[in-house]
Amino acid sequence: MQLHHQRRQKLWKAAGFVVVIGLVVLAIYAVQMYGLEPLREQVQRMGVWAPIGIIVLRGLSILIPALPSTAYSLLAGSLLGFQTGVITIVISDLIFCQAAFLISRNYGRGPLNRWLGRAAMKRIEQFNQSQLERNFFLMTGLLMTGLFDFVSYAIGLGGTSWSRFAPALFLSVIVSDPPIVGLGAGLLDGGRMVLGFAVLGIFILALISALTRRMVDENSSNA
C-alpha cells in the first residue's frame, strides 16, 4: 500500500515537472516565433480563461507540494503582464493556501499522510515542531518562502485558528508574490525598472528565507 502510494507521488511529481517544462518551453517558443505582444494578444482573446487556468495550475502545485509552483508565477508575469499576473497569483495563493490549512486542520495527520506521502509529511512535521502558532512573525516569514505550501499544511496541523493564519497569509502573499511575477514580466519585457525591483525583492525574500529556516532549525533542536 505504502509502495503504491510512493509510486503515485513520484508520478505526480514527474507529471508536474513535465507540465511546467512544457509550458515554459511553449512560452519561449511562442515568444521567439511571434513576439511577446502578439502572444499576449492571443492570451487576451482567451479572456478570463487564461488567468483561471494559471490559478488552477498554481493551486494544484500548492495542494500537491511535490509539484513546482514558482514557474507559474513567472509564467503569469510573462503572459499576463505584471499587474494582472500579480492579481492572478495572489488570488490563487489566498484560495489554495487556505484550502491546505483547512484540510490539515480539519482532517489531521492520517488522511494528510495518505494524500501527501511520507516525505512531504516529514517536512510538514518539521515545521509543526517549531510551534509556529506562537510566533506570528515567524509564521508570516515562512509563508514568504518557497516552502509556503508545506507551511500552510503545518500551521493547520498545529491547530492554529483561521483568524490568526489569514492575516499572516495575506501579508506574506502581498510581499512575496510581486517580485517573482515581476521577474517573469521583466525578463521578457526588458523592463529594467520592473526587473530591478524584482531582483531586489527576490534578494530580500532569500534573506527572509534564510533567517526563518535558521529559527525553525533552532526551535526544532530545542523542542
* Dihedral over alpha carbons 158, 154, 177, 94 (to 10 degrees): -60
Q: Is 32 exposed, middle or buried (CB count within 10 Å of its CB: 0-12, 13-18, 19+)?
A: exposed
pTM of the shown model = 0.76
Average of per-residue pLDDT across 56-60: 91
Contact predicate 198/179, CB 8 Å? yes
Instruction: Choose from 133-137, 151-155, 196-200, 205-209 the range with maximum mean pLDDT.
Output: 151-155
- Residues 60-101 have pLDDT tens digits of 889 988 667 788 888 888 888 889 999 999 999 999 999 999
pLDDT at 199: 62
Give the residue, 137 or 66, on which the prediction is more confident: 137
Place of cell 506570528: 136
26 confidence band (pLDDT: 50, 70, 90): low
User: Mean of the per-residue pLDDT values for the chain?
Assistant: 77
* Residue ranges per structural domain of the chain: 2-222
Distance CA 180, CA 201 (A): 8
- Residues 38-55 have pLDDT tens digits of 666 777 787 888 899 999
pLDDT at 95: 97
CA atoms in the 13 A half-sphere facing the CB of 17: 6
1 confidence band (pLDDT: 50, 70, 90): very low
Residues 6+ apart with CB under 8 A from 23: 71, 75
Say yes or no to pLDDT of 122 above 50: yes
Distance CA 117, CA 111 (A): 10
Give the residue, 39 or 115, on which the prediction is more confident: 115
pLDDT at 59: 93
Q: Is the dihedral of CA 31, 187, 148, 43 positive or negative?
A: negative
